[in-house]
Structure 1
Amino acid sequence: MSQYRRNRVPGGTYFFTVNLLDRSSRLLTENIDAFREAVRQVRARKPFHIDAWTVLPDHTHCIWTLPPGDTDYSARWKAIKIAFAKTLPKTEQLSAVRLRKGERGIWQRRFWEHTIRDERDYAAHVDYVHINPLKHGLVQRVADWSYSTFHRYVDVGIYPPNWAGVSNIFVAGER
């Protein structure tokens, strides 16, 4: 079995990208209530703070902060993936390897993780999370995407409602 090098900072803040296996799928947004419920169930058992989150049709980007002393984001992602998959009918095509391992063909096996290093890194990743629906051409204005914590950031005054609309220019890492 492969050993993946993951940075583990107790109580750390992490950025994640988690993809569906079929990148042309719309499974996450078509089943948003089931995905939200999977996250809710896992947070009830293994708490974490959601700093920012955007759910796109075929992948999600988010930032979590774990409780003090806790580094186990991998178990949380595994539980979220399993809980979500259990809500879906078994209609996906499975490879011989997935069949042999008893896996579903919904998620890519792994995820991308980045440990947030400082306030500037945090701000850049929060921006990246929220700009993604616009970046992928899903909306003309970030405010038009409902599967995001963007609106929470507007409500507390961090972003103006028209942040990163078609008239704004986004440069990674700048605000």
Structure 2
Amino acid sequence: MLVDHVGALREAVRQTMAERPFRIDAWVVLPDHLHAVWTLPEGDADYSVRWRLIKARFSQELPVGRLRNSHEARQERGVWQRRFWEHHLRDEADLAAHIRYCWWNPVKHGLADRPEDWTFSSVHRDVRDGRYGW
């Protein structure tokens, strides 16, 4: 679903970034999940609000499908898992490892032979900017 509606996801991210700035260090969108590495402004650690806004904005653009009772009770569309995992990066090596994880995830899932073969990845920007090869 995510790659089928990647335009709506990009718009949700764009709107959220305009309200609550952050830098995208890496991002990969797969059909059923995504991974991202962000840098937030100094003194701002509010990942949760940003993810909530992105998820809500994206979900609002999708047609309503079949919902379970738990989704209806929480006014959810059933698109996203309820939680996300965050990891505070310790140093440059940790940052590089997580960026590589994003790049290689489509290969890991059998969606591409090489990271740069997957369309929905920041690897293309990073190759262009000379960051590929960390």
TM score, norm. by length of structure 2: 0.95
The answer for the alignment partner of 2:17 in structure 1 is 43
- Matching residue of 2:108: 135
Residue-by-residue CA offset, 1:102-129 (whole Å, 9 max, x unaligned) = 2211111111111111111111111101
Provide the residue aligned with 1:32 in structure 2.
6
User: Which residue in 2 is equivalent to 1:69?
Assistant: 43
- The structure with the largest helix share of the pair is 2
Between the aligned partners of 2:68 and 2:127, the Cα distance in structure 1 is 44
Partner of 1:53: 27
Q: Whose strand fraction is larger, Structure 1's or Structure 2's? A: 1
1:117 alignment partner in structure 2: 90
Q: What displacement does 1:96 show? A: 1.6
User: Equivalent pairs: percent with the same residue?
Assistant: 54
Aligned-residue offset at 1:142: 1.3
Q: Measure the CA separation in 2 of the matches of 1:99 and 1:159.
A: 43
Match among 48, 61, 74 for residue 101 of structure 1: 74
Please give the alpha-carbon distance, in whole angstroms, between the structure 2 residues aligned to 1:100 and 1:140.
Answer: 42
Q: CA deviation at 1:149?
A: 0.7
Q: Which residue is 1:21 aligned to?
A: none
Q: Please provide the CA RMSD for this pair.
A: 1.1
Q: Following the alignment from structure 2 to structure 1, what is the Cα–Cα distance between the partners of residues 21 and 81? A: 24
Q: Which has the larger radius of gyration?
A: 1
Q: Number of matched residues?
A: 134
CA distance in 2, matches of 1:120, 1:138: 26
SS in 1 for 2:87: strand
2:118 to 141, 145, 148: 145
- Return 45-54 or 99-108, whichever deviates more: 99-108
* Runs (5+) with no aligned partner, structure 2: none
* Structure 1 unaligned spans of 5+: 1-26, 161-174
* 4+ aligned runs moved over 6 Å, structure 1: none
Q: Which amino acid aligns with 2:132?
A: Y
What is the one-letter code of the residue matched to 2:93?
R
